[in-house]
Amino acid sequence: MRILHVVGARPNFMKAAPLLRVLRARGIEQILVHTGQHYSANMSDVFFSELGIPVPDINLGVGSGGHAVQTAEVMIRLEPIVLDLRPDLVVVYGDVNSTAAAALVCSKINISVAHVEAGLRSFDRTMPEEINRLVTDQVSDLLFTPSPEADENLVREGVSTEKIHRVGNIMIDSLVELLPLAKQRPKNGFPEQYALVTLHRPSNVDNNHVLRSIVDILLEINNRLPILFPVHPRTRQKIVDFAIDTSALCLMDPVSYIDFLALQSRATAVITDSGGIQEETTFLRVPCLTMRDNTERPVTVSLGTNVLVGHNRARVCQEIDKVLDGRAKVGSVPPLWDGHTAERIADVLESKNRIPVDRVLVDVAAKHI
């Protein structure tokens, strides 16, 4: 069996690393394609190094761009590669543009697709990631889900239960693997108590009024609990564009996965708009305040440490007060978030061997539609 993995952004790397490692140990032939959606050293290269991901066999070099441009470029550059290599299965991860683009390419030329982290839904179609999730799940042949509600979402959308495999959360595999190293990282003079902040979603950072309002909330929190803020390049540029004064906050360059895991595990609270961080804080039992009105990971709210606070200043401050008073939400770790998700996925793939779908590879060069 020949498996081709497609990754494009940091969350993909953390999900692919455990599966690449497990399949390699089982002697399965693998090809790694990096689309280049995240392409700088601190957004890509260092993550590959720390996660033990091999140098990609192919880098598409797509780079930045709008949603349409980025998606189209991945499709154009990936199609001839999969036609040439003819893998038995293409594995895509998460919900970034590279994920949907690769799934579309492969489904159109009748190459089987497996989606790791399938079935997550925010039910908010203003989020580009939600469109990517919906499209990817509809054209995938194997759907590996992290939690029961993900299964339910897929069934409600008409996906055959034979395609759905609940395997747990593969991001936790990477966390479990690297947490011991993170705990050895020096504290670098950071305060004993702090709130760790990450913001990158367009709905939070692309609008002057919204981003300014969020920074005002962070400034108020900073008076009670020092803030450490590794700033995503997109967010930093918007802060500059909108001339927002953040001089009172501790802004940092993006950090590596292990360094961020160290910061996260020691944080008094985490304030974020990231889906993956909602999951990691739940596993770490660190209070998480999510600056969104919805989440595609509701299990982090129902079972975990996550609280949705939106942009409500009073709510954010109230939750921070609870944390400082020792009244923070006490969560639990969801079932199958145990560091063995990649092994369960590998078991399914080996049991299938070659995906049992009667398909004939279409030579699109000879077929014009």
| One domain for residues 108 and 15 | yes
**Are β-strands 269-272 and 195-197 bridged in parallel, bridged antiparallel, or unpaired?**
parallel
The 8 Å CB, 24+ separation contacts for 247-255 are 248/219, 248/222, 249/215, 249/218, 249/219, 249/222, 250/226, 252/228, 253/42, 254/42, 254/43, 254/230, 255/42, 255/230
Nearest alpha carbon to residue 12 among 135, 129, 111, 181? 129
35 within some domain? yes
Token reading at 237: 């540029």
In the set 165, 200, 311, 340, the catalytic residue is 200
362 within some domain? no
**Cα distances (angstroms) measured from residue 15 to each of 18, 168, 203, 228, 347:** 7, 12, 25, 25, 17
Q: pTM for this one?
A: 0.91
271 within some domain? yes
Separation CA 200–CA 31 (nearest Å): 30
Separation CA 252–CA 238 (nearest Å): 15
175 within some domain? no
Q: What residues make up the domain containing 246?
A: 181-324
- At residue 163, the 3 state secondary structure works out as helix
pLDDT in tens, 218-262: 999 999 999 999 999 889 999 999 999 999 999 999 999 999 999
**Domain total in the chain:** 2
* 200 in active site: yes
Burial 194-204 (b: 16+ CB within 10 A, else e): bbbbbbbbebb
| One domain for residues 9 and 144 | yes
Token reading at 11: 């969350």
Per-residue pLDDT of the chain (369 residues; tens, 9 = 90+): 999 999 998 889 999 999 999 999 999 999 999 998 765 545 556 777 888 888 899 999 987 778 899 999 999 999 999 999 999 999 999 999 999 999 999 999 999 999 999 999 999 999 999 999 999 999 999 999 999 999 999 999 999 999 999 999 999 999 999 999 999 999 888 999 999 999 999 999 999 999 999 999 999 999 999 999 999 988 999 999 999 999 999 999 999 999 999 999 999 999 999 999 999 999 999 999 999 999 999 999 999 999 999 999 999 999 999 999 999 998 999 999 999 999 999 999 999 875 444 444 444 443 434
**In this structure, what DSSP letter does residue 346 have?**
H
Q: How many C-beta neighbours within 10 Å does residue 315 have?
A: 15
154 within some domain? yes
Separation CA 282–CA 288 (nearest Å): 8
| One domain for residues 239 and 112 | no
**Cα distances (angstroms) measured from residue 150 to each of 55, 153, 197, 288:** 32, 5, 27, 21
10 within some domain? yes
361 within some domain? no
134 within some domain? yes
Residues β-bridged to residue 6: 33, 92
Q: What is the CATH number of the domain that holds 35?
A: 3.40.50.2000
**Are β-strands 113-116 and 89-93 bridged in parallel, bridged antiparallel, or unpaired?**
parallel
Separation CA 14–CA 35 (nearest Å): 15
**Cα distances (angstroms) measured from residue 109 to each of 26, 113, 127, 136, 138:** 28, 11, 28, 15, 15
| One domain for residues 259 and 316 | yes
| One domain for residues 155 and 104 | yes
